[in-house]
Amino acid sequence: MDRPVAIELRNITKTFGPVIANNNVNLDIRKGEILSVLGENGCGKTTLMNMLSGIYYPDAGQIFVNGEEVSIKSPKDAFAYKIGMVHQHFKLVDVFTAADNIILGEQMPEFSIKKEFEKIRKNYARKMAESKARQQAHIAAGGKRFGRNYDAILREQAGIFNRALLKINTLGWVKLGKRLAFNHLSRSRVKFLQALIVQYGFDVDLSKHIYEMSVSEKQTVEIIKALYRGANVLILDEPTAVLTPQEIRKLFDVLRKMRESGKSIVIITHKLNEVMEISDRVAVLRKGEHIATVETKDTNEKALADMMVGKKLNLNIDRKDPVDPKPRLIIEHMTVKNRDGLNAIDDVSFTINGGEILGIAGISGNGQKELLEGIAGLQKVESGDIIFHNPKKNKPVTFFHKDVKQIKKMAAEGFFHYPDGTKVDLSGKSKKEIVRLVNEEQILFYEDEIIDLRHRTPREIQELGIKLSFVPEDRLNMGLVGNMSIVDNMALRSYRKGKSIFVNKKRPKNLADKIIEDLEVVTPSDQTPVRRLSGGNVQKVLVGREISSSPKVLMVAYPVRGLDINSSYLIYNLLNKQKEKHVAVVYVGEDLDVLLELCDRILVLSGGKVADIVDARHITKEEVGLLMTKSCHTEASSKKEEGSDD
């Protein structure tokens, strides 16, 4: 039996200049259902929901709520029609409590200094009239004008005047008192909020400050805030992006209870397994158009993925066993402080092997950023060692990061041999002879070069072949230059290698064109400034540049954040190709399913410490989630990889 329709969208169109975000989209949201909205990045799914929540206004089309056409021009209008949206980036005040944030924006009594002054004046006039009447009655009754009782009346009049004057002079404090009434309002609503928590099974402390909360708790506050305002239609944008499996299960339990109470839930997501688990129907958008809405029970992940991209997709990550993994980077007792002077990474030790992918799992803000930046030389390492094993055995020395003086010194210490196996002796040889031997690749390393990176600059580390691909939220400030073209951003990695004062753009242009083709970057040309690209395409440019640099150690943080499913699998395949080249790959990700399927080992961070290092082939998502929240499961600990550093 079909459920009644809560909201209907008819022929909705939205454009931004020449870009068509939504084109004649028709969609309905039913009462008492969970609807998932799927699509590649840039397909218009968030734009469509933003029009429902009042952030955008459609250029054409109609919106119907409970069968009546409405006009939603602001979030206030959306709330009036009982529509609420929880955005991926929460709209909360950190220094307020959960209860304060929930009631924030509720209508308060209007305060006016003029009205307050008039109120005091009228009250003063009334009191004086009453006092004067008592005075006249006292005289009429035969009382003496300067008698004891009359003096008391005069003192009363003076007191009334002084109190009125005091009130007038302290109107600023009265205004402060009105503002402090907000706290009273917050406390008075706690009983009602507590009833909401019990009704839907939320787990949150209303007296806790936002800055003390986990991501899951903040999300819960946002949901309660929408329900408190009477939302019957709740839109969630990527609600599980940074949650642990345990937190996802709790969220889904809450959403099911909301569905049972008749609420309509819309989830914007890219996780197909979660779509199949929680939703009743799935709406698929592609390039701004509505492709289909299907019953979840009548479809599968493969069919949904094919509808999203318009072609057949292989959704399997081809993970091969590591071949002869050898230590490439050894981290010993590493400590890195954050901006507040606290230990973001606290006495961490582990090994990164060449020819494998090491995953880093942890709740957001548990030291992932500081770990990678500390290794790359971007943050000061307070203590510990970062030992890099440069794979140089039987390979020729070059002038890339060695000069003649260093080569002579290392030769004297017995680091090199000739192709016939004899030890290199450069004593007595001129600079010209040494340069000739190096250029002819006649001087070879005996063993891998061992280098402590702790005191190296980022440029020195980069020249050793350690590339850091860090993809933060603000990609245009940390990874790329927004006003520069794609080609020029490619040149940022290679311009120092030029032999003249002019930058040779031939290689950067070839690289830019290759990335545009391989990663399907949507751009008018390779000369387009990257700031004009969509977020997902900016991500592709950054990740593509880093992966193309032939690194020995490749560290990538959230490389598929903002990418659609097709582009994400392209990145996974590129990382596997790096692994096959015996590159040591470090992958920091949010999706535990991907970490378990892509990585060989997983290092779990909790509170800046290593909770465990586990074999990704022999551990479950739930066990990793427990380690992330410091609830170290006995079974997970028993599966700890033998010989791993902890």
Structure tokens at 228: 């408190």
Q: What tens digit of pLDDT does each residue of 412-443 get?
A: 888 899 998 899 988 888 888 888 998 888 99
What percent of the chain has pLDDT above 70?
A: 81
Find, among 555, 542, 564, 381, the residue nearest to 473 by Cα. 542
pLDDT score recorded for residue 85: 92
What percent of the chain has pLDDT above 90?
A: 29
Q: Which of 32-46, 469-483, 587-601 is predicted with the least confidence, judged by mean pLDDT? A: 469-483
| CB count in 10 Å sphere of residue 405 | 10
d(CA 266, CA 233): 8
Residue 646 pLDDT class (50, 70, 90 cuts): very low
Helix (H, G, I), strand (E, B) or coil at 275: helix
Residue 500 pLDDT class (50, 70, 90 cuts): low
pLDDT score recorded for residue 632: 39
pLDDT score recorded for residue 154: 57
Cβ neighbours for 280, distance < 8 A, ≥ 6 positions apart:
33, 34, 35, 259, 295, 296
Residue 261 has pLDDT above 60, yes or no: yes
| Signed CA dihedral, 593, 595, 599, 604: sign only | negative
d(CA 582, CA 355): 4
Find, among 247, 313, 399, the residue nearest to 38 by Cα. 313
Residue 635 pLDDT class (50, 70, 90 cuts): very low
Residue 343 has pLDDT above 50, yes or no: yes
pLDDT score recorded for residue 451: 83
Of residues 181 and 333, which shows the higher confidence score?
333
Residue 634 has pLDDT above 50, yes or no: no
pLDDT score recorded for residue 112: 55
d(CA 392, CA 70): 69
Burial (CB < 10 A; 0-12, 13-18, 19+), residue 6, is buried
d(CA 107, CA 465): 59
Q: Which of 16-30, 208-222, 236-250, 460-474 is predicted with the least confidence, judged by mean pLDDT? A: 460-474
| CB count in 10 Å sphere of residue 112 | 10
- Looking at residues 27-34, what average pLDDT do you find? 94
pLDDT score recorded for residue 645: 45
pLDDT score recorded for residue 265: 95
Name the CA radius of gyration of the chain, rounded.
Answer: 33
Helix (H, G, I), strand (E, B) or coil at 41: coil
Please say whether the beta carbons of 508 and 490 come within 8 A: yes
pLDDT score recorded for residue 1: 54
Please say whether the beta carbons of 237 and 16 come within 8 A: no
Mean pLDDT of the residues in the chain: 82
pLDDT score recorded for residue 263: 93
Residue 195 pLDDT class (50, 70, 90 cuts): confident
Sheet holding 233-237, edge to edge: 83-86, 233-237, 264-268, 34-38, 281-286, 289-295
Residue 624 has pLDDT above 50, yes or no: yes
- Looking at residues 252-261, what average pLDDT do you find? 92
Residue 252 pLDDT class (50, 70, 90 cuts): very high
pLDDT score recorded for residue 158: 60
Q: What tens digit of pLDDT does each residue of 233-244 get?
A: 999 988 887 777
Single-letter code of the amino acid located at 262: G
pLDDT score recorded for residue 640: 43
pLDDT score recorded for residue 501: 65
Of residues 390 and 113, which shows the higher confidence score?
390
Residue 189 has pLDDT above 70, yes or no: yes
pLDDT score recorded for residue 643: 43
Question: Rounded to a whole number, what is the distance in angstroms from the first to the last CA of the chain?
Answer: 56
Residue 309 pLDDT class (50, 70, 90 cuts): confident
Find, among 480, 539, 497, the residue nearest to 399 by Cα. 497
Please say whether the beta carbons of 245 and 621 come within 8 A: yes
pLDDT score recorded for residue 99: 87
- Looking at residues 12-24, what average pLDDT do you find? 88
| CB count in 10 Å sphere of residue 197 | 17
Residue 639 has pLDDT above 50, yes or no: no
Q: What tens digit of pLDDT does each residue of 371-411 get?
A: 988 888 888 899 999 998 888 888 888 876 678 888 888 88
pLDDT score recorded for residue 214: 80
Residue 33 has pLDDT above 90, yes or no: yes
120-127: long-range contacts, CB 8 A cutoff, minimum separation 24:
120/164, 120/167, 120/168, 121/164, 123/164, 124/160, 124/161, 124/164, 127/160, 127/164
Distance of CA 67 to the CA centre of its chain: 37
